[in-house]
Structure 1
Amino acid sequence: MRNYLTEYRHELQRTFTGTSGTPPEWVPRLAEGHDAGYHLPGSAVWSVHGHVATIVAGIRVLLMQALHPGALAGVYEHSGFQKDPLGRLANTIRWIFTVTYGSTEDAQAATTRVRKIHERVRGTYVDGKGIQRDYAANDPELLRWVHITYADSFITANRIWGRPIPGGADAYVREWATAGRLMGIEDPPLTEAEVREELEQWYASGILRADERLAETVWFIRHPPLSPMLRPGYRILFAAAVASLEPRYQDMLGLRPPRFGPIPLPVITSARAVLGMVRLALGSHGPSEQAALRRLQRLGYADA
């Protein structure tokens, strides 16, 4: 059992960060820096991002973000998601964890790197009303869609599979608004109700679109190039992410939770078991969090 857990842990680490056995080079640097950063232990952001429910949230947010044809075009035409999807995942995780756990200098530098990459991501897309539009990855409109779907997915996944958030969901939205501002979003939502209201506005706008490109992307998200050891668990987590979506988004994505005849399969409960296995393999405190705690202790934060 111990050997299996070790191999399972290494496969998880390779998937999330591109390395196994030792953390990637950017993680130990989270122990450096000269301030507490944007978020502290006990915050809503630390609570949500430190839980394995973020794995389902990550799948869910990829599905949601793909519904905007401009966001999808940027990923489809410019990123290496098809040739190196795990590399793209590792880069996204690096930014999220650096903003969550790093110093303000590191968080700002990581965001600058992302925005610089976005500068060359430009093109055109056709929206749900058949109108051709220009897009750029740093456009406030696309950044806002990405930010809102992120907040919605992480709140939803945490509510189903996570733990109580200090200060509740509104505290998470308010705290993670800092990440939105770093990316250039003006007046990001500060409450869960505002997130829901903006999602309603997006749906009503007619911009969201289902087409062949979306179907191809959904297939790829459903069948990523994972190791055989991780595939059974991923199938369950993917089904759980689909089950957590509103039916209207499931319809647009061409997805439904699995059923045995008329009986829905218990994917929510099954996902809880898979996430428990992941936590057993990775531990309750990841290396990014531990590095941040070392920085905070060095700086004299008593609660660290």
Structure 2
Amino acid sequence: MTSDSAPPFLMRIRGRLLTALAGDPTGMAPYVRAIADGDDAGYFVEDGPAWTVHAGMGTLVAGIRALLLQALHPGALAGVHDWSRYREEPIARLTGTVRWVITLTYGSRTQSDAETARVGRYHGRVRGEYVAGDGAERPYSADAPDLVRWVHLAFTDAFLRSHQAYGRPIPGGADAYVADWATAGRLMRVTAPPVTEAALRAEIDGFFDRGELRRDERVDDVVRFLRKPPFPGLMGLAYRVLFAAAVATLPPRVRRMLGLRRSWLPVRTATRVILRVAERALGSGPRAQDMARLRLRRLGL
């Protein structure tokens, strides 16, 4: 379906989704258009594991799930609490993360390296103190190895689990995606990121088992905000379903630590309906992967 033939209601949904995700109602923010430029194939293979997972509608669930899981690390949460304006500008924070994911997944290596450097410069300023899981006060910085590692693990797990629940088969399976996205971890200076699903699970379990994660009033505050952010009308109703879908994909002990319960509503069915509508809406116009294909065809790849 092209933008010329899409029903008006789908175009309205598309505009709202893309404003939330990419900061532009057309989805063609300058950094997305720039993906068509560049002189190399990028870090990730066309239609490979990362392309497949990040193009899937499960990403709408994964983003919420990743934030919930990341919030359990008091150092990572302190950085968000002290330096982010997520309450005042939730869309701006979301679009900044989406820009990084899209550029790394579909952009050239030059573009990906520049985007990684941009994020790194911001992280270099994020410093402070937090109360660790053992109750001791510790300094933090957003580029500290343990925090960067936790964010990478939480992101990878969230996108993998959400895609497994709501997406199509991954080329090569779960291990292939974990190994593929480990490239992003290395770009963010994560040392030896996990490259199998089992290793990913073991590392996340290790953070829990070592007592590095905790729930406190800041976590509860983030959960309350994520449960009901200021999205109006139908978008707000759809988001509530996606939030419930994200909670349903979390392991029981994670839900317990976050103080969350699975919804009694038919979440899986409702989520599939919402994601199907979103897929039709987003598919009614060009997307980042279309820009990447233009670059690859221009390069004869």
Please state how far the C-alpha of 1:22 moved relative to its aligned partner: 5.3
Query: C-alpha distance in 2, partners of 1:238/1:283?
Result: 23
Residues 7 and 170 (structure 1), Cα distance of their counterparts in 2 relative to 1, 3 Å cut: same
For 1:172, the aligned partner's letter is Y
What aligned pairs does 1:1-304 form with structure 2 within 5 A after superposition? Answer: 2-21=7-26, 23-259=28-264, 265-283=265-283, 287-301=287-301
- 1:20-64 per-residue CA deviation (whole Å, 9 max, x = no partner) reads 135111111001111000012121111101111111011100000
Structure 2 contact 15–25 (Cα < 8 Å) conserved: yes
Aligned partners of 1:173, 1:69: CA distance in 2, in Å?
25
1:50, 1:286 within 8 Å by CA — same for their partners in 2? no
Worse-matched range after superposition: 18-27 or 266-275: 18-27
Distance 2:255 2:187 in 1: 31
Query: Would you say the 8 A contact 1:11–1:227 is kept in 2?
Result: no
Deviation at 1:3, TM superposition (A): 2.4
What displacement does 1:196 show? 0.4
- For residues 75-119 of structure 1, the C-alpha deviation after alignment (integer angstroms, 9 at most, x for no partner) is 111012111111111111010010000000000000000010001
Corresponding residue number in structure 1 for 2:3: none
Would the aligned equivalents of 1:125 and 1:135 in 2 still touch at CA under 8 Å?
A: yes
Give 1:284 deviation, angstroms: 7.6
Q: Contact 2:19–2:27 (CA<8 Å) still a contact in 1?
A: no
User: Aligned partners of 2:66 and 2:17: how far apart in 1?
Assistant: 19
Q: CA separation in 2, counterparts of 1:101 and 1:285?
A: 17
Task: Quote how far apart the aligned CAs of 1:270 are.
Answer: 1.2
Cα displacement string for residues 259-287 of structure 1 (whole angstroms, at most 9, x for unaligned residues): 2xxxxx21112111110010011118852
1:129 Cα deviation (Å)? Answer: 1.6
The 8 Å contact of residues 237 and 271 in structure 1, kept in 2 or not, is answered as yes
Partner of 1:262: none
Say if 1:104 and 1:250 are closer, same or farther in 2 by CA, change over 3 A. Answer: same
The gaps in structure 1 that reach 5 residues or longer are 260-264
State the alpha-carbon separation in 1 of the partners of residues 270 and 217 from structure 2. Answer: 31
Cα contact 1:68–1:207 (8 A) shared by 2: yes
Deviation at 1:6, TM superposition (A): 1.8
Matched residues, number:
296
TM-score by length of structure 1 reads 0.95
Aligned equivalents of 1:195, 1:86: Cα separation in 2: 29
- Unaligned residue ranges in structure 2 (runs of 5+): 1-5
| Structure 2 CA distance for partners of 1:73 and 1:170, relative to 1, 3 Å | same
> What is the CA distance between 1:2 and its match in structure 2?
2.3
User: Alpha carbons of 1:217 and 1:286: their partners in 2 closer, same or farther (altered >3 Å)?
Assistant: farther
Quote the RMSD (CA, aligned, Å).
Answer: 1.3
TM-score normalised to structure 2 length: 0.96
Distance (Å, rounded) in 1 between the aligned partners of 2:211 and 2:53: 32
Distance in 1 (alpha carbons) for counterparts of 2:181 and 2:297? 23
